Amino acid sequence: MQVDLLVCLRCGGPLAKIATVPAIVECEFCDAVISVGQAAPVVTSVSTHDAKREADRQNARQGFMAKLTELIQAGRPPYEALREASAAHLGTAGQTETLARITIALAVDFEGEDGIPLDQMGMMLARIAEGYLRVLGELRTAASYELNLPFLTADHRGPRHLARMLSPAVLAELAQREPGSLGNDAASARRAAAQAAAPPAATPAEEPPKKKKKWFGLF
């Protein structure tokens, strides 16, 4: 259990870094209070709804999206852009790499299914991150919820949609993936499939040996 990559058991949102365990941490996305110890974390309580806090969260998400869009359009690598934007606008929970890992992992799974290379996704990554943050609000009262991003992109096959059922447990698994290896498996699978589908290269036919002229052919 990596305590610096924990997600909320109630909504699946990133939790702030924990220096040592046992510890008590409050989710900045749904107000759940979580006890983290040597055993599995548990939700101990949930704060009452606060309209001002909810408005602050909405403003923070808008600031995050504006910053992320700016960084992606400026050509920053996706992982760096996600980390910088979340650290700037999503409080102490945003200063972890959890949101970046989850967003990239969702994008890589989409890449594996639809063949859209991660390095060509651009603003699609911003939509995936925004969709993830939107799902957190739904997971406050539901065990799972579908991340549904219609018309995420389009190619010769037509519009491509991302639909993925998410739960706090699924998000916790995505957060644990190592970002350095993300995309490698999908890229390798695409190359292997392309090589298998490609017709074998034709070997150049050998030229027939030239006939030697006989001496009597000179007269």
Residue 210 lies in a domain: no
Question: Using CB atoms within 10 A of its CB, is residue 200 exposed (0-12), middle (13-18) or buried (19+)?
Answer: exposed
Among residues 132, 122, 138, 193, which one has the least CA distance to residue 162? Answer: 132
Q: Which is more confident, 130 or 218?
A: 130
Tell me the three state secondary structure of residue 198. coil
Q: H or E element: which one contains 80? A: helix 78-89
Among residues 13, 17, 104, 24, which one has the least CA distance to residue 60? Answer: 13
The number of distinct structural domains making up the chain is 1
Residue 135 lies in a domain: yes
Across residues 79-90, what is the average pLDDT?
Answer: 96
Please report, for the domain that includes residue 41, its CATH number. Answer: 3.90.640.10
Query: At residue 103, what is the residue type?
Result: T
User: Model pTM?
Assistant: 0.80
pLDDT tens across 182-202, in order? 444 444 444 444 444 445 544
Query: At residue 96, what is the residue type?
Result: T
Residue 80 lies in a domain: yes
Residue 198 lies in a domain: no
Strands ordered across the beta sheet of 32-36: 23-26, 32-36, 42-46
pLDDT tens across 111-144, in order? 887 677 777 788 899 999 999 999 999 999 999 9
Residue 161 in contact with residue 150, Cβ under 8 Å?
yes
Residue 192 lies in a domain: no
Backbone Cα Rg of the chain = 26
DSSP class per residue in 134-156:
HHHHHTTT-S-EEEEEEEEEEET
Residue 139 lies in a domain: yes
Residue 212 lies in a domain: no
pLDDT-above-90 percentage for the chain:
62
pLDDT tens across 1-27, in order? 788 899 999 999 999 999 889 999 999
Which residue range(s) make up the domain with 95? 3-183
